[in-house]
Amino acid sequence: MTTASPDTLLCLEAVGKRFGGVRALSDISMSVERNRIVGVIGPNGAGKTTLFNLITGAYRADSGAIVFAGRQITDWPPHRIIRAGLARTFQNIRLFAGMTVWEHLLVTQQPKGNPLRSLVPLRWSNPAVAARAEQVLKFFGLEKYRDVLARTLPYGIQRKVDMARALASGPKLLLLDEPVAGMNHEEADELRKLLLRLNEEGLTILLIEHDMAFVMNLCHELYVLDFGVRIASGEPAAIRSDPVVLDAYLGSEAAC
């Protein structure tokens, strides 16, 4: 059982999930401290994406509790969890087919003030939304793609748009589902630098990743899952030499 300190942003207490007879996750406990970059690794089918879907409310946990920013979010619907300050990206990107890059950066923001203002043309009702979108657009260097339909862009750029969309909502915690999948080495390194900059500005990041080099060079702390069970956790250097991890994950990967 993890104990929640004031520095804990996200805390999972013995969270479990089964699909029919399959135990996707059993008794997972973990905590993400503020302003840290935490990675979740493990072989395919270890339950990493299920873990994300539980945290964001896409699935409901069968047992255990999830606490985010001091509040029990275990049974909340996704939109409520996201509004509490969490944002995610998708393994398969999932951009909106009819929207430009610019529109992706507007849609996830919650216009402030009277909810009726969301009925009025954005230009008149909420200039702050456009300002925020502009800021995120610049941060990711997406200015030249501003009015392009996002789905028509190259894969690497689409990944950035997915991340920018999540970031536009101004989250406290960013969840990244395999952010460098399909990227080449240079693109991955560029992304690593972007994430480090975001972290310096105070963003907490939780990510799932297969690319070991990327994870080792970026994360402050790692959790290792295998068959839905947490088999190890700690600093990257310790994980790298943990025999249990080597056997379950690195070992099996080296074998194939």
Partner 1 sequence: MSTYYAGLLADIGILTLGALSVYVILATNQLSLGNAGFMAIGSYLSSFLTVELHWPLTGAVVAAALSASIIGIVVGFPALRLKGIYLAIATLGFGEMVRSFFLVFSPTGGSGGYHGMQHVALGYIWIWTAGVLLMILLLERSHLWLQMRAVHDDETAAGLVGLNTTLIKVGAFGLGAAIAAVAGALFAHHHVYIEPGNFGFERSIDFVLAVILGGSTVGVGALAGAGLLVLLPEWLRVVADWRLAAFGALLIIVLLTRRQGILDRPLLARLSFRSAGT
Residues at the site binding partner 1, with contacts judged by CB under 8 A: 56, 58, 77-79, 82-83, 87-88, 90, 94, 96-99, 103, 106-111, 117-123, 125-126, 129, 165-166, 169
Q: Least separation, in Å, of the C-beta of 43 and partner 1?
A: 25
Between residues 52 and 214, which has the closer beta carbon with respect to partner 1?
A: 52
Beta-carbon count within 10 A of 27 CB: 16
φ/ψ region of 42 (left if φ > 0, alpha if ψ in -120 to 50, else beta) reads left
Between residues 198 and 250, which has the closer beta carbon with respect to partner 1?
A: 198
Between residues 94 and 138, which has the closer beta carbon with respect to partner 1?
A: 94
Q: Least separation, in Å, of the C-beta of 95 and partner 1?
A: 8
Residue pair 203/169 in contact (Cβ under 8 Å)? The answer is: no
Between residues 103 and 190, which has the closer beta carbon with respect to partner 1?
A: 103
- Alpha helices by DSSP H, 8-111: 48-55, 78-83, 101-107
Q: What angle do CA 85, 92, 42 make, to 5 degrees?
A: 80
Q: Least separation, in Å, of the C-beta of 178 and partner 1?
A: 15
* Phi–psi pair at 56, nearest 5 degrees: -90, 0
Between residues 82 and 218, which has the closer beta carbon with respect to partner 1?
A: 82
Residue type, 228: G
- Please give the Cα distance from 224 to 239 (Å, whole number): 8
Q: Least separation, in Å, of the C-beta of 166 and partner 1?
A: 7
Q: Least separation, in Å, of the C-beta of 29 and partner 1?
A: 24
* Phi–psi pair at 43, nearest 5 degrees: -65, 170
